[in-house]
Amino acid sequence: MIAAGDVVLVINAGSSSIKFEVFEVPAAPPPIPRFAGQLEGIGASPRFTAKDAAGTRLAERHWDDGNAPANHRAGLGIIIDWLEGVLAGRRVAAIGHRVVHGGPDMAAPVMVDVAVMERLRELAPLAPLHQPHNLAGIAAAAERFPGVPQVACFDTAFHRSHAWEADTFALPPEFYARGIRRYGFHGLSYEYVARSLAESEPALAAGRVVVAHLGNGASLCAMRGGRSVDSTMGFTALDGVPMGTRCGQIDPGVLLHLLTTEGMDAAAVQKLLYGNAGLKGMSGISQDVRDLEASADPRAAQALSHFCWRVRREVGALAAALGGIDALVFTAGIGENAPAIRAAVCEELGFLGIALDPALNAANAPEISAPGAATRVLVHPTDEEGMIARHVLGLLQRSENA
């Protein structure tokens, strides 16, 4: 039985990194963040950092001796070894995992068992950059914490409220029945923003909100009453706006051309679209917006201009899906920290009642819309790990009370 003072470990395993956060189980919700960190550069130049809830750096380690963790299992071992020292014997009551794809059936967090793992492996081709590493994190955690409940929380789940019209492709119905449909992603981030807005701005949250989750992975979501109505990502996390290394929306005829005329095979096309496209591919420099903003290379400016143009286009499309817009919310690494990107996105959106206050935008203020603007523009932090911790506690408590 879970008890106050126990801890929940949240693991977010990416393609070359593992983020983690430890939450204390409180007497009453929400869970209390205690420690967080990440091991990045797995397989290349790993770097481990950790801090407490106040942001104080507790650990930092680089590997120059040839003993660096070479895979996610070894990386998680480094993290757990460090955690055992700072947890001082406190019980790990459960482990929550971010899993990118839950398919058409998994619309809520689930306890992980053999059948769930098998189903999630079947979905790996739909999220090849993420799903295998998410599952590797689960397997590694099960080895180090035998018998501890593990909970999978899905980035697709928040979007299961979409109408059929928003999720289907114009294909014969049997393809939809086989799961070829638009799923949407970044759902844990959107769910956190929706819940946070409902607590702080209930009237706004009840209205029509477009949230722009802009980071190395990027998408936008239209919400009405805190529920997802539409999203820019579709069948896979390739769709929508350009990203750090992913192409975003592309004419399917281009893919046919690459396969039939350019002589590329499926593996080469996948490598191009997932790893050598987006900001990195367009600029030839970097996938990091900070590097591109600092560069004098005209390709960097072109890549950023295209990115902002595509985000602006999707804001307008999602506003149409909602029948209007009451607020635009920027979140995630770029959305929260790149004033020039926000300004460029909003520059031509005056027809939607959007106008920015330059000083507030430059300061990354919580609200950056100009005085008197008809549509509010917010900068709102996201917290996927905090959302996962809430789900884990909720699912465990429901199981205990059943």
List residues with catalytic annotation. 155
2, 94 contact by CB (below 8 A): yes
Single out the residue of 32, 34, 64, 35 nearest to residue 47, CA to CA: 64
User: How buried is 206 (Cβ within 10 angstroms: 0-12 exposed, 13-18 middle, 19+ buried)?
Assistant: middle
In sign, the C-alpha dihedral spanning 74, 154, 251, 317 is: negative
Q: Which long-range contacts (CB under 8 A, 24 or more apart) does 88-93 make?
A: 90/5, 90/6, 90/7, 90/24, 91/6, 91/7, 92/6, 92/7, 92/8, 92/9, 92/145, 92/148, 93/2, 93/3, 93/6, 93/7, 93/8, 93/25, 93/148, 93/149, 93/396
What tokens were used for 327? 């607020």
CB count within 10 Å of CB 130 equals 22
List Cβ neighbours of 205 (8 Å cut-off, separation of 6 or more).
194, 197, 198, 225, 226
Read off the amino acid at residue 52.
D
List Cβ neighbours of 91 (8 Å cut-off, separation of 6 or more).
6, 7
Q: Which residue has the tokens 């790993």?
A: 46
CB count within 10 Å of CB 371 equals 7
| 49-67 burial code (b ≥16 CB/10 A, e <16) | ebeeeeeeeeeeeeeeeee
Is the preceding omega at residue 30 within 30 degrees of 0, hence cis? yes
